[in-house]
Structure 1
């Protein structure tokens, strides 16, 4: 939509006419020839000397040019602009820490994406990247854990950085074991000293806690006291000879910390888990709408400057021709 930012500027449009009518003309003295027979010449010719000052008059072209210059200047001062489509302004609603297991078991090639067999971690990375894009109102952080937990990306609203750090991570970088309790305890430290009340931890693993250090359910109780909600996702097979997933512990963690447990044996179940998580923790927006503005004042200002140069050029040519005559 086109509009003027300062429409009241156009009330100044008749200002030059008011100045022309109300302000007296500028008087300038010129050299004159004193002639002793001046009055006699007037009587003979029948003319009468005028007592008024002579006022130079501008031609029509000059009046038109000056009018266009004034209108262009006022149009620029009125700030013409185009208002774009209003958009909701994204609000930082919560801190969201993603703690992902990158122990050696995540290298198992039992997932399929587009008919191609891939490792669990490759499948998780692809779906997790799509999930990160959807969390546009959250501050995200990445924690990866194996034998120990490590911070890969601190809390930030720059989700492109988070996705880049996710892509740069591979299996085994944090050790070969699975320290679930350490991962929860380390993630809690990231929330410390933050002003946002909503704190969510998403824990992804395909194994069992190694039993060293902080016990997972004890860590969940500590997170509950700090008002941290924990959602858990179990990766891979939940039953069978090759199953290494401790579903019972993951369910207990989620129940203690007010979250929910999801099982993801393949890509489709993983996407369903994230879809449900988006419904449980919906993206929030501010009520204020932000409309992009494109300023256009430079165009009438350029016309004003060009017309001024053109008028000065024409007057210069006219004066030069007059002197020659």
Structure 2
């Protein structure tokens, strides 16, 4: 018997001996009725030479008939127990965290030093190409988007609708937030989004290829505020430190991640960026919970169908035997 087999009403099995109790305890039903004598009754007696009886002859049921009735009753009781196949509860993704992507779209992200499918591409286009897959794999997270340059603005508020977040990402382009890089402002704007958020687990992914412009709120001060608000920040540097044309401030990004309990990553090309997103999936895995409704397959129609089929079959056989008997007696009478 499979492990997922379940009987909903096992108490119904107590009805199995009921026919025997009725047979043993209740007296036989006896009914008296007046006999009908036909005008040719005595002639029929003389013709058939059978001795008249005071009562009708009732033929006892044979073993086969009792066996059919027993099987029908067992099948009916089996149907009443409501047997079921209870499947394992399906695991569904639990809304576990608010995941905010804070991405740099300053002018430096327009550099064409990355590649997509072997062709030169802007850093921002390569980042978007990989980030699309990353977003769609975060089923269960409430995701939001903040883009920054000289200023920071909210592109997508927190929502579980990842298709919308993905579309909003696609619509963003380099230069929409200005040409400078203000990391402190970006973190602060992200914290504003987290203020009214009710989910306790709050994660921010800060992505930039530059160095903070130095005016306004400082990146480490903003990181300190994030620590107080229990916001974990993963920082992701784009480019090659020390290479000509690169202004990436790895030290600041490392300090931001360290202060908030996150981790710093360096992406020198698109392949490394894909690896980083895979590492992020492991660091912030999806959480699952059991669904309340378990898939149940009802099995009672099968024993019920067997009982009905046997009852119908036994009735048809009884009628057929009676018809054959009548035909045989008629033939013998006129023989």
TM-score by length of 1: 0.70
Query: Take 1:46 and 1:316, find their aligned partners in 2: how far apart are those partners?
Result: 27
2:177 aligned with 1:175 = yes
Per the alignment, residue 273 of structure 2 pairs with 270
Number of aligned residue pairs: 312
Per the alignment, residue 154 of structure 1 pairs with 158
The 5 Å alignment of 1:1-325 reads 1=2, 3-6=4-7, 8=10, 9-25=12-28, 30=33, 32-33=35-36, 49=54, 63=66, 65-76=68-79, 77-81=81-85, 83=87, 91-132=94-135, 135=138, 139-146=141-148, 147-152=151-156, 154-156=158-160, 161=163, 164-165=166-167, 168-172=170-174, 174-177=176-179, 178-209=181-212, 214-278=217-281, 280-281=283-284, 293-297=295-299, 299-300=301-302, 303-304=305-306, 307=309, 310-311=312-313, 314=316, 321=323
Instruction: Give ranges in structure 2 of 5+ residues lacking alignment.
Output: 39-44, 328-335
Q: Report the 3-state secondary structure (helix = DSSP H, G, I; strand = E; otherwise coil) of the residue aligned with 1:5.
A: strand
C-alpha offsets along residues 33-64 of structure 1, whole Å, 9 cap, x if unaligned?
389xxxxx9xxx987746xx987766666655
Q: CA deviation at 1:300?
A: 0.8
Tell whether the 8 Å contact from 1:106 to 1:120 is kept in structure 2 after alignment. yes
Tell whether the 8 Å contact from 1:140 to 1:162 is kept in structure 2 after alignment. no
Instruction: Provide the alpha-carbon RMSD of the alignment.
Output: 4.5
Q: Report the 3-state secondary structure (helix = DSSP H, G, I; strand = E; otherwise coil) of the residue aligned with 2:141.
A: strand
Query: Take 1:192 and 1:23, find their aligned partners in 2: how far apart are those partners?
Result: 78
Tell whether the 8 Å contact from 1:184 to 1:219 is kept in structure 2 after alignment. yes
Query: Take 1:115 and 1:232, find their aligned partners in 2: how far apart are those partners?
Result: 27
Tell whether the 8 Å contact from 1:111 to 1:117 is kept in structure 2 after alignment. yes
Q: Report the 3-state secondary structure (helix = DSSP H, G, I; strand = E; otherwise coil) of the residue aligned with 1:127.
A: helix
Query: Take 1:213 and 1:82, find their aligned partners in 2: how far apart are those partners?
Result: 61
TM-score by length of 2: 0.69
Query: Which range moves more in the overlay, 203-212 or 160-169?
Result: 160-169
Tell whether the 8 Å contact from 2:100 to 2:146 is kept in structure 1 after alignment. no
Rg larger in 1 or in 2? Answer: 2
Q: CA deviation at 1:107?
A: 3.9
